Chain A
Amino acid sequence: MRRQEEGSRAVAEAVALCRPEVISAYPISPQTHIVEHLSDMVRTGEIDPCEYLMVESEFAAMSAAIGASAAGSRAYTATASQGLLYMVEALYNASGLGLPIVMTLANRAIGAPINIWNDHSDSMSQRDSGWIQLYAETNQEALDMHIQAFRIAEEVSLPVMVCMDGFILTHAYEEVDIPEQAEVDSLLPRFEPRQLLDPAEPVTIGAMVGPEAFFEVKYLAHAKQMQAMDLIPEVAAEFEQAFGRLSGGLLRTYRTDDAETIVVALGSVLGTIEEAVDELRDEGVRIGALSLKSFRPFPLDEVREALGDAERVVVLEKALAVGIGGIVSANVRTALSGIRLHGYTVIAGLGGRSITKESLRRLFEAAGRDELKPLNFLDLKEEIVERELARVHAGRGSGPHEENILQDIGVVAAEPH
């Protein structure tokens, strides 16, 4: 049914339609509305049978999900930012043990300085944790990806993280089509675990493995992600057949045929990028965009095929690998091995800094003239940085950066940005 709905509630309803049997979560902005709504639906019996565990931390949330999944239950959790970092050790256990848990990540910056707004620092920090990572562009896609995520997770027996931009998606009201239970049931069969803790037939899950076999077990995790690379587009195609809309998959291209410049990005920023691309196309600029929907597994061949004929690639990313720059762009570079083209990394939107069409237009025009540096920072207020560097150079005891900068720009508390 089509509805004007908040992203968080839409996702919660999609998760409910997937018939989770155990939900364990700890609230954190901007994920809170999702788990609040789910806990309500468990309380009222809308999701039944299901146990909602209000745990004492994110570490406990993931640990409970691991236990539930190993016992044969369809398990779900959600978190963001510091919450994800707090569950890191358990994240690796979930993937290492091959437990098909689905988690929503409401993407948010990582402190310090503490910041509740959106960027991709949290999910990017766990890109190599062994989880499949999918990135939603819209709330419709976030909703659809959750249904696909359970199917993918359970078929390859790996956990899946569905990343949706915090606030920008989670708190936005937009039109969504929420499927019927029977439609979801036909795409998502009952969970049949590959491994099961059963007192009647005891097994060990998570045995210690020495040098004689660790490598092989680890390699299998990679092999399973490579299987997921085939499965993700298959499930997206099946989904399209059933629901009549394209959601998920490995990647999506926009006006890339004959494009000299292609912009690569993940998540909700694609909408604004497409607006800028359309304007430039109207002016005769040959530009297109590529939305990476699956970051793990990373679709090397598909990215290579989509970008290989371009003259330049601009990778716009919402995370900064301090000391080197881009994360996504390094992966894109791997896909383009041996191909000569200009590659630009643009760090944008950190801590909720708005990414505007106007700034994107200027950026893409500069890219077209090959005036970008290898590493660029979109709308970074350089004069503020310069002034703080001057204070630092003036002597020891210059104090905390964040406090100095807030005083410098005259902000005593967070305001519209």
Chain B
Amino acid sequence: MTAAELLSVAAFEEGRHAHAFPTFGSERTGAPVTSFCRIDESPIRSREPISAPDALIVQDPTLLHQVDLFAGLGDDGYVLINSSRSFDELGLGEFAGRFRPERLLTVPATEIAREHLGRPLPNTVLLGGFSSLTGAVSIESVAKAIRDKFGGPVADANVVAAENAHEYVQRERAEAAAHA
């Protein structure tokens, strides 16, 4: 939920309309949770969950083979998975063929978070990567949203981690483009 919230704040910082909301399951840490974020140039009225997303962020790759995470995602969709492994290594090689390779990336967000935050909290890291992958919000706006939510050294560390992921995904995209 924090990631969807921060994404909506980043979009708001850019003068756009945004709406972030969760679906909750059992209230326990570690339970699967889905969060949604809509970003638009005009006010958002719809309250229904997003069933056909333009982009998908998977925070926990262990869900990949339990739930159909990609239902409703179009062939032009963006996918960012929190993993240090490639799509082939995740067993998604065949599935990946449907999408445009430069829009289908993994980022080791948990590792980056451990390095910069000292804890496996991949939210802000993934948003940094998402900013690069989709261009939906700028990394500057992501940084602003992070500073809005957190303070002091925690904010600084999260901003650095997000920027790190942003650069990581920039490199990945350049490689994907070179292979295309």
A416 part of interface (Cβ distance < 8 Å) = yes
The yes or no answer to B164 lying at the interface (CB within 8 A) is no
Question: Is A171 in contact with B8, judged by CB distance below 8 angstroms?
Answer: no
Within 8 A of B (CB), among A256-307: 268-269, 271-272, 274-275
A175 with B25: CB separation less than 8 A: no
Contact of B21 with A414 in the complex, beta carbons under 8 Å: no
The answer to the question of B51 belonging to the interface, with a C-beta cut-off of 8 Å to chain A, is: yes
Establish whether residues B51 and A414, one from each chain, have CB atoms under 8 Å apart when the complex forms: no
One of A173, A274, A356, A415 near B18 (C-beta < 8 A): A173
Query: For chains A and B in complex, what number of residue pairs have CB atoms within 8 angstroms?
Result: 78
Q: Is the CB of B48 within 8 A of A354?
A: yes
Q: Pick the contact of A173: B21, B25, B45 (CB < 8 A).
A: B21
Determine whether A375 belongs to the interface, using a CB cutoff of 8 Å to chain B.
no
Say yes or no: A175 contacts B48, CB within 8 Å.
no
In whole Å, how far is B146's beta carbon from the nearest beta carbon of chain A?
13
User: How many of A's residues come within 8 Å of B, CB to CB?
Assistant: 28
B88 contacts the other chain (CB 8 A): no
Q: Are A272 and B21 in contact (CB under 8 A)?
A: no
Q: Which residues of A contact B22 (CB under 8 A)?
A: 167, 171
Give chain B nearest CB distance to A288 CB in angstroms: 15
Interface-side segment among B26-34, B91-99, B172-180: B26-34
Asked if A172 contacts B21 (CB within 8 A), the reply is yes
Q: A289 CA to B130 CA in the complex, in Å?
A: 38
Taken residue by residue from 44 to 59, chain B's Cβ proximity to chain A (1 for < 8 Å, 0 otherwise) reads as 1111110100000000
| B19 A172 Cβ-Cβ under 8 A | yes
User: Could you say which residues of chain A place their CB within 8 Å of the CB of B13?
Assistant: 4
Q: Is B17 an interface position by the 8 A CB rule? A: yes
Tell yes or no: B20 within 8 A of A by CB. Answer: yes
How far is it, in angstroms, between the C-alpha of A175 and the C-alpha of B9 when the chains are bound? 9
Interface members, chain A 380-417 (any B CB < 8 Å): 413-417
**Closest Cβ of chain A: how far from B53's Cβ, in Å?**
13
A416 CB contacts on chain B under 8 angstroms? 23, 25, 32, 34, 49, 67
Contact A116 to B45, CB < 8 A, known contacts A172-B19, A173-B4, A175-B17: no
In angstroms, Cα B17 to Cα A29, docked, is: 27
Are A357 and B23 in contact, CB atoms less than 8 angstroms apart? no
Instruction: Determine if A4 and B45 form an interchain contact, defined as CB atoms under 8 angstroms apart.
Output: no
Please report which residues of chain B, range 62-101, place their CB below 8 angstroms from some CB of chain A when the two chains form the complex: 67
- Chain A residues contacting B12 (CB-CB under 8 Å) are 3-4, 175
Contacts of A173 in B (CB 8 A): 4-5, 8-9, 18-21
Q: Which of the listed residues B18, B22, B23 has the most CB atoms from chain A within 10 Å of its own CB? A: B23
Mask: chain A, 154-172; 1 = CB below 8 Å from B; 0 = not: 0000000000000110011
Q: Which of A332-368 contact B (CB under 8 A)?
A: 354-357
Q: Is the CB of B9 within 8 A of A29?
A: no
Separation of A356 and B51 alpha carbons in the complex (Å): 9
Q: Does B150 count as interface, using CB distance less than 8 angstroms?
A: no
Q: Which A residues lie within 8 Å of B9 (CB)?
A: 4, 173
- Docked Cα-Cα span, A173 to B18, in Å, equals 8
Give A144-188 interface residues, CB cut-off 8 Å to B.
Answer: 167-168, 171-175
Chain B CB within 8 A of A46 CB: no
A118-149 near B? 1/0 per residue, CB < 8 Å: 00000000000000000000000000000000
Bound: A168/B23 CA distance, A: 9
Residue from B17, B18, B21, B22 having most chain A Cβ neighbours under 10 A:
B21
Query: In this assembly, does A6 line the interface, its C-beta being within 8 Å of a C-beta of chain B?
Result: yes
CB atoms of A168 and B21 under 8 A apart:
yes
Contact B19 A174 (CB under 8 A): yes
B46 touches A271 (CB 8 A): yes
Q: Are B48 and A356 in contact (CB under 8 A)?
A: yes
Chain B residues within an 8 Å CB radius of A356: 48-49, 51
B8→A268 contact, CB < 8 A: no
Chain B nearest Cβ from A364, distance in angstroms: 15
Q: Which of chain A's residues have a CB closer than 8 A to the CB of B4?
A: 173
Alpha-carbon separation in the docked complex, A377 to B51 (Å): 21
Question: Whole-angstrom distance between the alpha carbons of A237 and B57 in the complex?
Answer: 44
Which chain A residue shows the least CB distance to B36? Answer: A172
B23 partner residues in chain A, CB cutoff 8 A: 167, 416-417
Bound complex: CA A356 to CA B48 (Å): 5
Given contacts A4-B12, A171-B21, A174-B19, contact A414 B48 (CB under 8 A): no
A272 to B19, CA, bound (A): 13
Chain B residues lying within 8 Å of A417, measured Cβ to Cβ, are 23
The answer to whether A272 and B25 have CB atoms under 8 Å apart is no
* Min distance, Cβ A279 to any Cβ of chain B, angstroms: 11
Docked complex Cα distance between A294 and B18 (Å): 28
B3 smallest CB distance to A (angstroms):
11
Is A167's CB under 8 angstroms from B47's CB?
Answer: no
A167 touches B45 (CB 8 A): no
Q: Is the CB of B20 within 8 A of A172?
A: yes
Q: Are B21 and A271 in contact (CB under 8 A)?
A: no
Interface CB pairs A-B, < 8 A, 17: A3-B12, A6-B5, A167-B21, A167-B22, A171-B24, A172-B20, A172-B21, A173-B5, A173-B18, A174-B8, A175-B12, A271-B47, A272-B48, A413-B26, A414-B25, A414-B26, A416-B49
Which 4 A-B residue pairings sit nearest by Cβ, starting from the closest? A271-B45, A4-B12, A172-B21, A173-B20
A171-B21, A173-B9, A275-B46 known; 5 other A-B pairs, CB under 8 Å?
A167-B24, A171-B1, A172-B20, A415-B67, A416-B67
